[in-house]
Amino acid sequence: MSALTALITGANRGLGLETARQLLKKNVQVILSCRDSAKGLAAVAQLREVSPHINFLPLDITHPEQVSAAVDKITQQYGHLDILINNAAITHAGATPPTAERMTNTILQTNVEDVKAVFEVNVWGTLQLTQALLPLLRKSPAGRIINLSSELGSIQLQADTSSPIYHVKKFAYNSSKTMVNLLTVYLQEALRDTNVRAYTISPGWVKTDMGTAAAFLEIPEGAGIIVQAALEDVPTSRFFTHQWQEIPW
């Protein structure tokens, strides 16, 4: 049986990089993608110590021409795609994090343009890439789409005053992840009679640049559930986080 092939977006650091590392250790061919070619190539050079089956693909998922070029490249080099891991995401617009505290409700101060910028990556970019790669995923015996989300996108947890995340109301990011969850639900219904499955996974609060050092999970722990969803027979139609704890939609 030939090795599985996986594409990971936003994979030059953090969860994406560690997911690539863990998949390589399981003999999966990995296509590492990100916007910054220098950082992507440096990440690939690092991972070649794990396995030679790693390649870099420059890809900004918000640019249609780059998405099209990526599809062409994967088609030429592999002929199909087994696993798509939609990891690329931003929490805010711009390079500098907002100064507001993590627990602040931002709905009254959030600039609409900032919300649009976050949705451009987290939602529309993810949708655009997924749609473009579906023909290649259909060529796999068992294609998988893994959409990385967050418990912050759960409407039920955001509405429940007893929820541990009730006060974490970063509108742009949280609502973008709510949309990612809905995107997955729609994909699951649209693909139910095909060989492609779609999953929404929250890696949990992980010590990445996005999650900050205050998080309680190490990066390998967060990547572990992503790898399991990519390779194992796990339930669809439900929303899971680390250690397979179910989260309400």
Q: Which residues are catalytic?
A: 173, 177
Q: Residue 5 carries which side chain, given as an amino acid letter?
A: T
DSSP string over 7-55: EESS-SSHHHHHHHHHHHHTT-EEEEEES-HHHHHHHHHHHTTT-S-EE
State how beta strands 143-148 and 29-34 pair. unpaired
Strand partners, 7: 31, 84
DSSP string over 52-109: S-EEEEE--TT-HHHHHHHHHHHHHHTSS-SEEEE----SSSSSSPPSS-TT---TTT
**What phi and psi, each to the nearest 5 degrees, are found at residue 32?**
-90, 125
As to burial, measured by CB atoms within 10 angstroms (0-12 exposed, 13-18 middle, 19+ buried), residue 140 is middle
User: In 3-state terms, what secondary structure has residue 232?
Assistant: coil
**Cα–Cα distance measured from residue 204 to residue 210, given in angstroms and rounded to the nearest whole number:** 12
